[in-house]
Structure 1
Amino acid sequence: MAVEDSGSSGTGVDAGTGADVPLPRLLCDTAELVSLGSDAPPGALWKLAEPGRQLDANVVRLPAGGRVDTHTEPDLDVLLLVLAGEARLDSADGGHALRAGTLTWLPHGSTRAVVAGPDGVTYLTAHRRRPGMRIQPPEAADRLRRPLEGGDGV
């Protein structure tokens, strides 16, 4: 849906060295996604999925009154660009109105929630890609466990 793909693999050949080099690619027509309006399904309408990427990005649609519950992102800074509609960003310093064209930085460690306005909201997020899960030996989990207080597990 709304993805531009020239059919290329995303690499080309450097004329000087003959080596494969990454090429820019057109990925998504966000205007087409926005044009779906309230007919768009809630959730992620598009995700960056190119192999070898260093970023993650999503176009997300929240219906009227929809929300992303309060949470804290401990590791990643996130950019949020409102493409259409309105929302409210709730954070430790209160509520902030978001409208089409508003670009917001959500620093890592910040607590936030997003509440869609009466017509819903469509927005783009971008952040550094999380490293993949790695299989570790069982004793690695012991380093993450907190000692039980009082020995009763409460």
Structure 2
Amino acid sequence: MTAQDGGAPAPDPGPPLPRILCDTGGLRATDGEDTGGARWRLAEPGRQLDANVVRIPPSGRVDTHTEPDLDVLLHVLDGTAALVCADGERALRAGLLAWLPHGSARSVVAGPDGVTYLTVHRRRPGMRVQPPGAADRLLPAPDGGG
């Protein structure tokens, strides 16, 4: 309700407050079948960061890829893995924090007990729907004029 429709004005929510989001200790344990994938994702509205807790089962892997735009921090919560880079492998274990700079090619290969890790990076801007032909307005005129 708003003051315009006869109700009381909405209270000012004030500045955002810090809060506990997740107990990652509970995300490391596996009950029964050890499947991989995201165990937790940061989903709060208005955030500037993205974060995920990811589990890779024993001997599983994240294939080689390059993130062209974002630096990523990877913090190992549980287990072991190999971070495979252009200049070789780096052993990962619980407690290690790795920086994956944008433009770097890398893969992660889980150890015999699997690995659980937290990734944090700047949030990607959402995609915006544009009318047809909007991108054409950004191209130079065919005659080179502006």
Instruction: Note the C-alpha offset of 1:19.
Output: 6.0
Higher Cα radius of gyration = 2
Partner residue in 1 for 2:102: 108
**Structure 2 vs 1, CA of residues 24 and 93 (structure 1 numbering), >3 Å: closer, same or farther?**
same
Q: Distance in 2 between matches of 1:37 and 1:125?
A: 23
**Structure 2 vs 1, CA of residues 141 and 135 (structure 1 numbering), >3 Å: closer, same or farther?**
farther
Counterpart secondary structure, 1:33: helix
Partner residue in 1 for 2:124: 130
Partner residue in 2 for 1:44: 38
Identical columns (%): 69
Is the 8 Å Cα contact of residues 38 and 119 (structure 1) preserved in structure 2? no
Counterpart secondary structure, 1:109: coil
Q: Which runs of 5+ in 2 are unaligned?
A: 1-10, 140-146
Counterpart secondary structure, 1:22: coil
**Structure 2 vs 1, CA of residues 19 and 83 (structure 1 numbering), >3 Å: closer, same or farther?**
closer
List per-residue Cα deviations over 1:67-108 (Å, max 9, x = no partner): 111000000000000000000001111111000011000000
1:67 paired with 2:66, answer no
Q: Give structure 1 regions of 4+ aligned residues with deviation exceeding 4 angstroms.
A: 37-40, 141-144
TM-score normalised by length of structure 2:
0.80
Let me know the Cα RMSD of the aligned residues: 2.2
Partner residue in 2 for 1:21: 15
Partner residue in 1 for 2:3: none
Q: Which runs of 5+ in 1 are unaligned?
A: 1-12, 145-154
1:55 is aligned, of 22, 28, 49, to 49
